[in-house]
Structure 1
Amino acid sequence: MASALTDKLSRLVKEMRGQARITESNVQDMLREVRMALLEADVALPVVRDFIARVKDKALGQEVLGSLKPGQALVGIVNSELAATMGEGIADINLNAQPPAVILMAGLQGAGKTTTTAKLAKHLIDKRKKKVLTVSGDVYRPAAIEQLKTVTAQAGAEWFPSTPDQKPRDIALAALDYAKRHYFDVLLVDTAGRLAIDELLMQEIKDLHAVLKPVETLFVVDAMQGQDAVNTAKAFKEALPLTGIVLTKLDGDSRGGAALSVRQITGAPIKFAGVSEKIDGLEVFDASRHAQRVLGMGDIVALVEQVTKGVDMEAAQRLAEKVKSGDGFDLNDFLAQLQQMKQMGGLSTLMDKLPTELAGKAGQVDMDKAEREVRRKEGIICSMTMKERKHPALIKATRKKRIADGAGVQVQEVNRLLKEFEQMQAMMKKMKGGGLMKMMKRMGGMKGMKNMMGGGGMPKLPF
């Protein structure tokens, strides 16, 4: 996420921290570098000017000059002003309305509006325990209605049918009536997008807004558009009373400019960020935590949340009991551990939330290659019979050849997996006294995560 900007700013942060004495000269040099980094990241020029002016004013004040550690004080100012640029703290979604609370989704074609509608449905079901109905008013794109039906099912929400020959206004009113009669808490209305802003689109969505009177009008914008994202957000803000912004594809953004610009340009708070393609890949946007990630400080809170969500504590308990009882750790258990890693969102998304210094150590391993290795190991185990997984000692030369052929790999890779399995099996034997469950419980807490990340480097991964 915002890799180019993060790389530059994290290097500057390291240099600033080491400053024993802050002068107007080295503040000017630092700000010049920050200014260039922000402009290259496609941050809007007015936003850059305002940000630099605020940092300069505070950097040359007593807060820094009178500090015992002026370098660290300066980093603190840059961090807090970055967060202020994107909006202070968290702007939660407003559902204070007579049910159903209507949320209108607006944006350009290709921004990820339909997928985001389903992700938001998933978020409201899981986090707010709401009964959610979705409906598509996009009668211009043939696949839009079916796409919403598919992703809504994945989210666990209910979908209201519509057809391309209907008018968006009629669809919305029918869905609202259905939502009222069936006691839905929230109605999410996906609207049509366009490749460019045009008067017909704007008039149609204005009419929908007037009819539905939504509690939230969210503008969905592709973070990778950079400056274009800001311009389109501004145009929508002039046409509609936007209550919030959803930034999509934040995980693929190499520039990061949209996140830093869109809040200040539109005046609407960033409420959510799309951080992966998965149906649960939507995070409540926290400006302070995002600022830390942009500066290369990582986001340990988000990392703990992701690991905790991905770890199946019941499965961990069963494995702990199994090992404790002396049944032993077999290849089915090894496969389950690999699958747990995938449920956590993959290695690259975990590394994205680590501070740059720690992620740099892990970065020596090619993350894409590592994830391919995990999938290859999964394929090898899935090519084994249940008996072979339960009793790995049975796997001799002819069986290895069959397994390798079935997984499309060389026999050497089967041997390598079996060796790694034996190493993990030996480790599990040492945890026979209940140590495994203690370790898994620690993963669910902040203290444990900090111990894992800070007290001895990166944890050993199964590849």
Structure 2
Amino acid sequence: MFDSLSERLGGTLKKLRGQGRITEDNVKETLREVRMALLEADVALPVVKAFVDRVKERAMGQDVLRSLTPGQALVKVVNDELVAVMGEANEGLNLNMQPPAVILMAGLQGAGKTTSVAKLSRWLKERDRKSVMVASTDVYRPAAIDQLQTLADEVDAKFFPSQSDQNPVDIAKAAIEQAKRDYVDVVIIDTAGRLHIDDDMMSEIKQIHAAINPIETLFTVDSMTGQDAANTAKAFNEALPLTGVILTKTDGDARGGAALSIRHITGKPIKFMGVGEKTEALEPFHPDRVVSRILGMGDVLSLVEEAQRKMDVGSAEKLAGKLKKGKGFDLEDFRDQLRQMGNMGGIGSLIDKMPGMGNLPAAAKQQVNDKELGKLEAIINSMTPKERRKPDLIKGSRKKRIAAGSGTQIQDVNRLLKQFTQMQKMMKKMGSKGGMAKLMRGMGGKFPMGGGMPF
């Protein structure tokens, strides 16, 4: 997400950072570039105008002009104002009420609403240890009810059955009554979507809202629709007392206009963003962290949280112990590392959060993908246990067999072995005394790219 915006803003602000003196002319030139970058990212015009005006006002103030490092001070102003546009801090769900807490989901058809219900259910179960029941009031599309049931089974949420001949309001009320009997903590009500906003749709969802009085009313919107997403959110906000927004498909959105427009136009916070198709691909929306990514500074906090939650601690400790004893890092360990990366949302997600990775050339980013991870794992799986433990055994005829078994080319096997050798050297340094410090010095603070690692 934000690739094009990050590239444009990053380049503009990089020029500023080293400048020892800021003048009205530099500020004008910088703001012209910033304005163009935001408009190209499909940020709504009123948002761009308000943002640029605020930055200009602060940039010409004494804090920037009299700063010892005025270039950096101006970059900080841009950073702070971007955070302000998106809402300052993450606003979580308000579930402080006598169970069951009711969440009503609204949105247009195709925005990822039903999938977001499943993602949110999983989030509540895993993060907040809540029991969750889901119900669909989409009586117009039986397939939507079946889809929700399938997803509920996947995330281990209770499913309240409904049928196309029932009244949507009755379904919602009955689901809540059932949740009370079953002592469920949270009920999520999925509603019917339409291809566009229409009076019937709004009337129905208003009736459901009035009947169940949810504590949270979340609007699900496709980030790839840019400023249209903000305008749709505004229309729903005028019809319903929305409490927040879930921004979906952010992994496919290179512009980021929706994220920068919604809060300003609706006054409602973005609470979550969908970062992939899987049910675990949901992240809380932290404006400060998102801005850090936009400006190429990564998002270490989210990366650490992700690692703490998803990394296999036992496996990591086992590998650390093995390295400490001086035992070599082998291809089975390498495969474990690849799987851990997959569990943390894949390579693309990791790179997005790593500091400095915003400056990677586009060609390098394109080479880094999760399909490549799958290919590497397939090659390792095609080896015998002995070959995985002793990679030096892998010569000509073995390479040919491994390539055939994994559906790859011999060049792919050679590339993997080269990447493994680099990783092995890194691990050897980590296993030695003062290893991490030596490793970071040797890497010059940068991650090995290009001909080396798969990330």
420, 445, 453: which one pairs with 1:456? Answer: 445
Amino acid at match of 1:380: I
Amino acid at match of 1:115: T
Q: Distance in 2 between matches of 1:363 and 1:82?
A: 24
Over 3 Å counting, the alpha-carbon distance change for 1:204 and 1:34 in structure 2 is same
Is the 8 Å Cα contact of residues 348 and 368 (structure 1) preserved in structure 2? Answer: no
Q: Distance in 2 between matches of 1:205 and 1:81?
A: 35
Is the 8 Å Cα contact of residues 296 and 358 (structure 2) preserved in structure 1? Answer: no
Aligned residues between the structures: 451
Over 3 Å counting, the alpha-carbon distance change for 1:291 and 1:416 in structure 2 is closer
Is the 8 Å Cα contact of residues 124 and 132 (structure 1) preserved in structure 2? Answer: yes
For 2:413, the equivalent position in structure 1 comes to: 414
Q: What is the SS of the residue equivalent to 2:102? A: strand
Deviates more, 1:24-33 or 1:94-103: 24-33
Q: What is the SS of the residue equivalent to 1:184? A: coil
Q: Distance in 2 between matches of 1:29 and 1:393?
A: 58
Q: Distance in 2 between matches of 1:294 and 1:185?
A: 37
Amino acid at match of 2:69: K
For 1:173, the equivalent position in structure 2 comes to: 173
Deviation at 1:375, TM superposition (A): 2.0
Over 3 Å counting, the alpha-carbon distance change for 1:135 and 1:30 in structure 2 is same
Over 3 Å counting, the alpha-carbon distance change for 1:22 and 1:212 in structure 2 is same
Deviation at 1:25, TM superposition (A): 2.4
Give unpaired runs (5+ residues) of structure 2: none
For 2:2, the equivalent position in structure 1 comes to: 2
Deviation at 1:191, TM superposition (A): 0.7
Is the 8 Å Cα contact of residues 296 and 359 (structure 2) preserved in structure 1? Answer: no
Q: Distance in 2 between matches of 1:6 and 1:297?
A: 10
Q: What percent identity do the matched residue pairs reach? A: 57
Aligned positions of 1:174-323 closer than 5 A: 174-323=174-323
Deviation at 1:374, TM superposition (A): 2.7
Amino acid at match of 1:401: K
Give unpaired runs (5+ residues) of structure 1: 440-447
Structure 1 residues 303-323: Cα deviation after superposition (integer angstroms, max 9, x where no partner): 222333342111112233445
For 1:19, the equivalent position in structure 2 comes to: 19
Deviates more, 1:299-308 or 1:361-370: 361-370
Deviation at 1:114, TM superposition (A): 0.8
For 1:41, the equivalent position in structure 2 comes to: 41
Deviates more, 1:270-279 or 1:204-213: 270-279
For 1:360, the equivalent position in structure 2 comes to: 359
Q: Distance in 2 between matches of 1:20 and 1:430?
A: 40
Q: What is the SS of the residue equivalent to 2:364? A: coil
Is 1:109 the counterpart of 2:114? The answer is: no
Q: Distance in 2 between matches of 1:452 and 1:139?
A: 61
Deviation at 1:456, TM superposition (A): 2.3
Deviation at 1:394, TM superposition (A): 5.8
Over 3 Å counting, the alpha-carbon distance change for 1:381 and 1:172 in structure 2 is same
Deviation at 1:387, TM superposition (A): 4.9
Deviation at 1:2, TM superposition (A): 1.6
Q: Distance in 2 between matches of 1:83 and 1:422?
A: 42
Amino acid at match of 1:218: L
Q: What is the SS of the residue equivalent to 1:365? A: helix
Q: Distance in 2 between matches of 1:79 and 1:208?
A: 41
Is 1:120 the counterpart of 2:109? The answer is: no
**TM-score of the aligned structures, taking structure 2 as reference length:** 0.90
The RMSD of aligned alpha carbons is 2.7
Amino acid at match of 2:188: L
For 1:350, the equivalent position in structure 2 comes to: 350
Over 3 Å counting, the alpha-carbon distance change for 1:257 and 1:431 in structure 2 is closer
Deviation at 1:418, TM superposition (A): 4.4
Deviation at 1:214, TM superposition (A): 0.3
Is the 8 Å Cα contact of residues 297 and 358 (structure 2) preserved in structure 1? Answer: no
For 1:78, the equivalent position in structure 2 comes to: 78
For 2:376, the equivalent position in structure 1 comes to: 377
Deviation at 1:298, TM superposition (A): 2.2
Deviation at 1:388, TM superposition (A): 4.3
Deviation at 1:81, TM superposition (A): 1.1
**TM-score of the aligned structures, taking structure 1 as reference length:** 0.89
Structure 1 residues 154-181: Cα deviation after superposition (integer angstroms, max 9, x where no partner): 3232222222222211211121011101
Structure 1 residues 256-283: Cα deviation after superposition (integer angstroms, max 9, x where no partner): 1111111111111111111222222111
Deviation at 1:286, TM superposition (A): 1.2
Over 3 Å counting, the alpha-carbon distance change for 1:173 and 1:407 in structure 2 is same
Amino acid at match of 2:291: A
Amino acid at match of 1:276: G
For 2:149, the equivalent position in structure 1 comes to: 149
Q: Distance in 1 between matches of 2:206 and 2:121?
A: 23
Amino acid at match of 2:206: K
Q: Distance in 2 between matches of 1:79 and 1:48?
A: 14
Deviation at 1:325, TM superposition (A): 5.8
Over 3 Å counting, the alpha-carbon distance change for 1:452 and 1:143 in structure 2 is farther
